[in-house]
C-alpha cells in the first residue's frame, strides 16, 4: 500500500480484516494531505445514478465503522444541493431510488446560512458532516503497526512480485496498491499506468457562524461552492475559483491569497449568518480535470486508484480495493469519466 491517506488506510484496514499481511507506506502524516482537516460533506446526491448507488453502499459501511469505533462518523444533518444543475442531481437520485425532496428557498425544511438564493433546492436527507477527525483516529488505530513512515521512490514489478523502493530499503510483496493522492501519477507511470497528473491549488476557509443561525445547519452544495459545519461554531466554504488564479504554475501563496479573497467576498455578499472573518483554512491540491468519480487502473500485480471527493467513499473504496488486491481484479470505474468511456 503506497499512501496513508483515507483511501490507503481504509484499504489497509480492510486487508487486515481479511487476514492479509500488509504494509502501508506513508511519507508524511497519516491523512495529512488531501485527507487533512476535521470535516467533509457526505451525500448520496450525485449527478450519476451509479454514484448515488455507490454512495448508499458507502453510507452503510460508514454505519458499520461507526459501530466499531463506538462513535458516529457522520453527523446526520442532511445535505442540500442548489444551483443550475439541480434537476440533473434530482434525476439521478430518482433513477437510483434515493429519498430526496425538492423545495424552494424559504422552505421550513431548509437550515442554511442564507435564506435567499436561486432555487429550487434538493434535500438529501441521508447527507451530513463526515467526521474526518474521528475517522483518522479510528483508521490509525485499526492499521496500528502496519503503517510505515517512509517515502516510496519507485514501484517495480518483477517475476516473483512487486518491489517497493523506499530510500535504501527494498521490500518485495505479492501485490501493490498505489493510492498516493497527488503522488500517484509519478509512481504509477513507473509501472506503465497512466493517471491524470494535472494539479491545481485549492483552499477551504472557515468563518464564525453568527448567533441566530438555524440549527443544525445542513451541508450545502451550490453551483460553484460547497459549505458545511466544521469545528464547533464555524462554517467551512470552498469554491470553484477562476482557474487562472489557482493554477499550479502561479504558486501556492498567490492561489491561497486569491481564494481567500474570493471566499471572503462570497461570505460577505451571500451568507448573512456568517461573519466573513477567516478563522481556519485547509489547503490541498486537486486535479481540475476530475469531478466526482472513482477510477482504477491495473498493470500486472500493481493496482492504482484516483479520483476527487473520495472521503465519502472511504469505507467502500477500502473494501473494493482490498478485494482486488487479493484476487487480482480491477474494480469498475464509476461516475462521469466512466460514463464517457475514459479511465
Sites of contact with ligand FAD (CB under 6 A): 2-8, 25-28, 31-35, 40-41, 151-152, 179-181, 183, 187, 202, 204, 226, 238, 282, 284, 308-312
- The answer to whether residues 238 and 245 touch, using CB atoms and an 8 Å cutoff, is no
- What span, in angstroms and rounded, lies between the C-alpha atoms of 155 and 192? 10
Q: Are strands 219-221 and 79-82 parallel, antiparallel or unpaired?
A: parallel
For the bound state, the minimum distance from the C-beta of residue 342 to ligand FAD, rounded and expressed in Å, comes to 19
For the bound state, the minimum distance from the C-beta of residue 108 to ligand FAD, rounded and expressed in Å, comes to 26
For the bound state, the minimum distance from the C-beta of residue 43 to ligand FAD, rounded and expressed in Å, comes to 8
Q: What is the sign of the dihedral through the CA atoms of 251, 252, 258 and 262?
A: positive
Q: Are strands 225-229 and 121-124 parallel, antiparallel or unpaired?
A: unpaired
For the bound state, the minimum distance from the C-beta of residue 46 to ligand FAD, rounded and expressed in Å, comes to 11
For the bound state, the minimum distance from the C-beta of residue 88 to ligand FAD, rounded and expressed in Å, comes to 19
For the bound state, the minimum distance from the C-beta of residue 327 to ligand FAD, rounded and expressed in Å, comes to 22
Looking at the Cβ atoms of 108 and 284, the one nearer to ligand FAD is 284
Q: Are strands 161-166 and 101-103 parallel, antiparallel or unpaired?
A: unpaired
C-alpha closest to that of 309 among 274, 334, 279: 334
CA of residue 235 relative to chain centroid, distance = 18
DSSP string computed for 208-244: EBPTT--SSPPEEE-SSEEEEE-STTEEEEEE---GG
- What span, in angstroms and rounded, lies between the C-alpha atoms of 227 and 41? 8
C-alpha closest to that of 319 among 57, 21, 49: 57
Shortest Cβ contact with ligand FAD: which residue? 5
Looking at the Cβ atoms of 107 and 284, the one nearer to ligand FAD is 284
Looking at the Cβ atoms of 107 and 148, the one nearer to ligand FAD is 148
Looking at the Cβ atoms of 273 and 313, the one nearer to ligand FAD is 313
Looking at the Cβ atoms of 54 and 96, the one nearer to ligand FAD is 54
Looking at the Cβ atoms of 155 and 271, the one nearer to ligand FAD is 155
Amino acid at each position: 500500500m503506497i499512501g496513508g491517506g483515507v483511501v490507503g488506510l481504509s484499504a489497509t484496514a480492510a486487508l487486515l480484516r481479511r487476514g492479509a499481511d500488509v504494509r502501508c507506506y506513508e511519507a508524511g502524516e497519516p491523512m495529512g494531505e488531501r485527507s487533512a482537516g476535521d470535516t467533509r460533506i457526505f451525500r448520496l446526491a450525485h449527478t450519476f445514478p451509479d454514484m448515488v448507488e455507490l454512495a448508499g453502499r458507502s453510507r452503510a459501511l460508514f454505519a458499520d465503522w461507526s459501530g466499531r469505533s463506538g462513535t458516529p462518523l457522520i453527523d446526520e444533518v442532511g445535505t442540500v444541493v442548489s444551483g443550475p444543475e439541480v434537476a440533473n442531481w434530482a434525476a439521478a437520485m430518482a433513477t437510483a431510488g434515493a429519498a430526496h425532496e425538492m423545495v424552494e428557498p424559504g422552505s421550513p425544511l431548509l437550515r442554511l446560512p442564507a435564506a435567499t438564493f436561486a432555487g429550487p433546492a434538493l434535500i438529501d436527507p441521508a447527507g451530513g458532516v463526515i467526521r474526518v477527525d474521528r475517522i483518522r483516529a479510528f483508521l490509525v488505530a485499526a492499521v496500528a503497526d502496519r503503517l510505515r513512515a517512509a517515502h516510496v521512490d519507485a514501484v517495480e514489478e518483477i517475476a516473483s512480485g512487486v518491489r517497493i523502493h523506499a530510500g535504501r530499503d527494498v521490500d518485495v510483496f505479492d501485490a501493490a496498491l498505489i493510492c498516493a493522492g497527488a503522488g500517484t501519477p509519478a509512481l504509477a507511470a513507473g509501472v506503465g499506468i497512466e493517471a491524470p497528473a494535472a494539479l491545481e491549488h485549492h483552499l477551504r476557509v472557515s468563518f464564525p457562524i453568527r448567533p441566530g443561525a438555524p440549527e443544525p445547519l445542513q451541508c450545502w452544495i451550490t453551483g460553484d461552492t460547497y459549505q458545511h459545519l466544521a469545528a464547533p461554531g464555524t462554517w467551512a466554504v470552498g469554491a470553484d475559483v477562476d482557474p487562472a488564479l489557482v493554477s499550479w504554475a502561479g504558486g501556492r501563496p498567490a492561489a491561497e491569497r486569491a481564494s481567500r479573497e474570493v471566499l471572503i467576498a462570497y461570505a460577505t455578499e451571500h451568507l448573512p449568518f456568517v461573519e466573513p472573518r477567516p478563522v481556519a483554512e485547509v489547503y490541498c491540491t486537486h486535479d481540475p480535470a476530475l469531478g466526482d468519480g472513482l477510477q482504477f487502473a491495473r498493470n500486472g500485480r500493481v493496482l492504482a486508484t484516483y479520483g476527487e471527493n473520495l472521503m465519502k467513499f472511504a469505507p467502500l473504496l477500502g473494501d473494493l480495493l482490498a478485494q482486488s488486491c487479493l484476487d487480482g481484479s480491477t474494480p469498475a470505474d464509476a461516475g462521469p469519466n466512466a460514463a464517457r468511456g475514459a479511465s
